[in-house]
A and B are shown apart, each in its own frame.
Chain A
Amino acid sequence: MVHNKQQEIMKSKELAKNMRKNILLMTHRAGGGHPGGCLSATDIIAVLYKCFLRVDPNNPSWVGRDYFFLSKGHAVPAQYAVLMEMGFLAKEEIKDFREIEGRLPAYPSCEITPGIDMASGSLGQGLSIANGTALAARLNNSDQRAYVMLGDGELHEGQVWEAMMTAAHFKLNNVCAIVDYNKLQLDGSIDEVKTLGDLNAKWASFGWKTIEIDGHDYEQIYNSFAEAKGFKEGPTVIIAHTVKGKGVSFMEDEVGWHCASPTDEQLEIALKELS
């Protein structure tokens, strides 16, 4: 088991490396996008897809699938990148990001992209969606799980807190939320714009099991997902401390990379760093 876990982690790391490259290629070619918040989420998404999420690239709408909702929809290149690695999308589609043709719009669309179950782009909506799928799974006596990734700035949205109460009230032990806590948002640092305060205490007081991790430590990421899956009393949130722009030296912890596109030269440097 331990051996398998280490193997899975190795594979996840390899996956994340390719994801990062593809995220940079997508945002570079498109001349836009949100690379910082993609790169902070990459390691978590890689482990989730590689080790926990039950999905079938040959049948994206398989009724028994687990659900993953990227509530911070601006980070969708990270999801496209993992869907390419998993075989839902072709790597040639990198060129289609944000273009009028193709299946990779700037924000998630469940209508045109295989492997994406819900549109996103207006922040705050994903946890409610996850709750709905989780309640449906319970009605069906299915062991399907619903994962949802939220941005830290996104937690300013009131709907998230409504949905937190819903998940706790119904004791949705098949819901796992992940907060990509990279501490930066469009206008500056979270603490400058509007602090989240004691985030762990807030989720806990709403009735959630909380797990705080380093969102780039694979052992911790893996263990947190395993622990969430094993917790039967109610919903679990993984508060993942991350670094915006993780993996590219000049993007790390720089608010300017929330919404920006690398130049040709920057792309070259970044790809070298990732090799």
Chain B
Amino acid sequence: MKIAPRDAYGQALVELGRENQNIVVLDADVAKASMTILFKEAFPDRFFDLGIAESDIVGTGAGFAVAGKIPFVNAYANFLLGNGWDQIRISVCYANKNVKIIGHNIGASSGKDGPTHLPLEDIALTRALPGMTVIEAVDGVEVKKAVRALANHIGPAYLRVGRLPIPVITKEEDPFEIGKANIIREGKDVTIIACGVMVSKALKAAENLAERGIEAEIINMHTIKPLDTTTILKSVAKTGAVVTAEEHTVIGGLGGAVAEFLSCTKPVPIRIVGSPDRFGVCGSYEEIHEVLGLTPENIVESSTTVLSLK
């Protein structure tokens, strides 16, 4: 089964809006794409479309937070982080305001819209900010839990949300706690740390590796910041080799976070699967993933490489 994260996101907002009167939703003229339109229809008084003005929408969200509201600020991730970064840095993070920044159409999910619309740098941009929590849910089921957790979490946070349906690999009853990674598959030979759609690709890679007698442990690192270093260390103590995978540039993302941590605590062979240092291309979701190397095959190859370096 597949669910588009944005559909789950829109539904989750409506559920939360019903329970908590303090939740307000802001959008930058992309409500039909971000699916905040569902919230708009349910709670028109608490929905604000600020037009195509990503800097302003972040600041306005911060103003709502000053007044005690819980704002969810929505726009395409590339424009929100591009135009709104200074506002996120000062008015949200430095000011330590309870603003939820929601970046949409992440990774390759805008497909044929091409390079300008393919945010591959948003984790790096948000992760660098002090006080920021950074989350990418693994599937549509987890998105709902993430949105609920964010509404209850006090402080600046960034959630990246994809546009296209992706495989559902978790169940309703699975736990979700910000900053607490989930082990999706146990193994002893190599640790694969992934987020978002790349977790399901890691599962495919693990099947392939298992056929060769290699047992991969897969960690769903839904919270990229703060990084669950305890879970990483425990797994790495067992496997001694790491591959990371993300729908994001290899610079400054999940792989960067894991490498920064392990290089200072427990250096082990590591390979980062992600977009190389380049822009995306126009193409279907699958085509772009092929071009950028966001594939199970690449995870398999990286796994055998780190195993050979042990």
Contacts and interface: CB of A to CB of B under 8 A. Distances in A.
Interface of A: 63, 67, 109-111, 117-122, 124-137, 139-140, 144, 146, 158-159, 162-163, 165-166, 169-170
Contacts of A163: 56, 59-60
A159 B87 contact: yes
A134 B64 CA distance: 8
A119 B63 contact: no
11 contacts: A121-B90, A122-B87, A125-B59, A128-B63, A131-B59, A132-B61, A136-B67, A159-B59, A159-B87, A162-B53, A163-B60
Interface in B45-92: 45-46, 48, 50-51, 53, 55-69, 71, 86-87, 89-91
Nearest to A144: B67
Contact of B94 (A63, A119, A126): A119
B34 interface: no
B96 interface: yes
A39 to B, nearest CB: 25
B90 A119 contact: yes
A178 B68 CA distance: 25
A124 B63 CA distance: 14
Given A159-B55, A163-B56, A118 B91 contact: yes
Given A118-B95, A119-B90, A125-B55, 4 more contacts: A109-B94, A140-B67, A166-B50, A166-B53
A165 B53 CA distance: 10
A124 B64 CA distance: 17
Contacts of B91: 118-119, 125, 128-129
Contact of A110 (B50, B59, B61, B95): B95
Interface residues of B, number: 31
A135 B56 CA distance: 14
Given A129-B59, A131-B60, A163-B59, A117 B53 contact: no
B147 interface: no
Nearest to B64: A132
| Binding site secondary structure of chain B | helix
B24 interface: yes
A119 B94 CA distance: 7
A96 B178 CA distance: 38
Contacts of A63: 68
Given A111-B95, A125-B90, A139-B24, A67 B55 contact: no
Interface of B: 24, 45-46, 48, 50-51, 53, 55-69, 71, 86-87, 89-91, 94-96
Given A118-B91, A128-B87, A135 B63 contact: yes
- Most B C-beta atoms less than 10 A away, residue of A117, A128, A159, A170: A128
A142 to B, nearest CB: 9
Contacts of B48: 135, 170
Contacts of A132: 59-67, 71
B217 to A, nearest CB: 40
B32 to A, nearest CB: 19
Contact of B60 (A110, A128, A144): A128
Contacts of B51: 162, 165-166, 169
Contacts of A136: 24, 63-64, 66-69
Contacts of A119: 90-91, 94-95
A166 B94 contact: no
A144 B69 CA distance: 15
A128 B90 contact: no
Contacts of B62: 118, 128-129, 132
Given A132-B67, A136-B67, A122 B59 contact: no
A170 B47 CA distance: 12
Contacts of B66: 67, 110, 117-118, 129, 132-133, 136
Which residue, A111, A129, A131, A158, has most C-beta atoms of chain B within 10 A?
A129
A134 B71 CA distance: 14
A130 B45 CA distance: 19
A136 B46 CA distance: 9
A111 B131 CA distance: 13
A24 B59 CA distance: 32
